[in-house]
Amino acid sequence: MNSKIAGVAELTFLRVKEPAFSLLYIFGMVLGYCVSGMDVFNFQEELFMAQIPIAGTEQPLLTGFLIVTVLSVLIGIFTGASDIPKDIDSKMIMLILGKPVSRLEYLIGKYLGIIAICASFFLVSSLSMIISHIVEKGNIYPLALLFRQLSLIYAIFPFVAITVMISCFTSEVTAMILSVIYIFSCFMFCAVPILMEMLPESLAFKSPIMAIYYFFPNFYYFMIPMKLTGVVQIFMILYSASVTVIFLTFASIRFNSRDLI
């Protein structure tokens, strides 16, 4: 990796030294212990989504890991939305960009730093869950099942990219609010493609709805059944990567043309 990008990423990740983040990690470990005994994830019967299969029977998603993923995304939203606007407000950005660091390198570095914070929270909490499971049940999760749970981390990458992109356009608080609204909309839209498949081809409002849907990455796709070495796994990675790059490209276009003073 480019050393300048790594430098910015490290600088961002060093925020975990703040007492608030230490508390967050402790919370993550306690949470991991508390949710380790939770059963396989299942939607409530009365919901429409209850009828959509999640993760399959071979490697089901465990509720605990799903809670940890959602919390990691939330941490991503709050850190991602505040980091760049805070640097601009405190003029820290001028200090960094005054060195031979381009705006793109700064942006990618920031993104990777935030990802590192989220991923570390995810991994610390997951590790706590795994250890708690070993202590309580006396055995380790089967490897395939464990890998399925850890693959939920793919969902974090696009959502952090979305937040970073929004933060390049607005101020700190607005970015947080918009990110929450946007990501909530993503959850709302996740059943759209499945619904559309059930509707007749000639339906007039099908195309406009699908066109709108494409603006919202689908979180549900990260929960569909897959094998460790299956083709779904590859496409899941491609999906996560493409959404991430698209949002980061928009962020970069905006960030390059933005007045930072």
Partner 1 sequence: MEKRQKKILILISCFFFVYFYSEAFLRRAAVSLIDKDKMKIETVINKLPANIRDGVKKEIDYASFQDSLMNAKTDGERVQILTTMAISLYQGNEQKKNEIFSEIVNEHPDLPESVQAFSSLLLNETSPRTVTLAEYRKFIAKLSPQGRYNAWSIGVSALKARKKSADIQFEYMQPLLDFKADFKDYSSLYEYLYDLALNLEKADLLPVLDKKRKECSDLPPIEDPLKAKDKGVKK
Q: Which residues make up the interface to partner 1 (CB under 8 A)?
A: 48, 51-53, 56, 193-195, 197-206, 214, 218, 220-221, 224-225, 231-232, 235-236, 238-239, 241-243, 245-246, 249, 252-253
The span from the CA of 147 to the CA of 32, in Å, is 17
The span from the CA of 152 to the CA of 235, in Å, is 14
* Shortest distance (Å) from residue 210 CB to partner 1: 10
* Shortest distance (Å) from residue 142 CB to partner 1: 22
Which one, 50 or 260, has the nearer CB to partner 1? 50
Which one, 22 or 51, has the nearer CB to partner 1? 51
* Shortest distance (Å) from residue 34 CB to partner 1: 31
Which one, 135 or 238, has the nearer CB to partner 1? 238
* Shortest distance (Å) from residue 48 CB to partner 1: 5
Which one, 86 or 206, has the nearer CB to partner 1? 206
* Shortest distance (Å) from residue 175 CB to partner 1: 22
Which one, 117 or 236, has the nearer CB to partner 1? 236
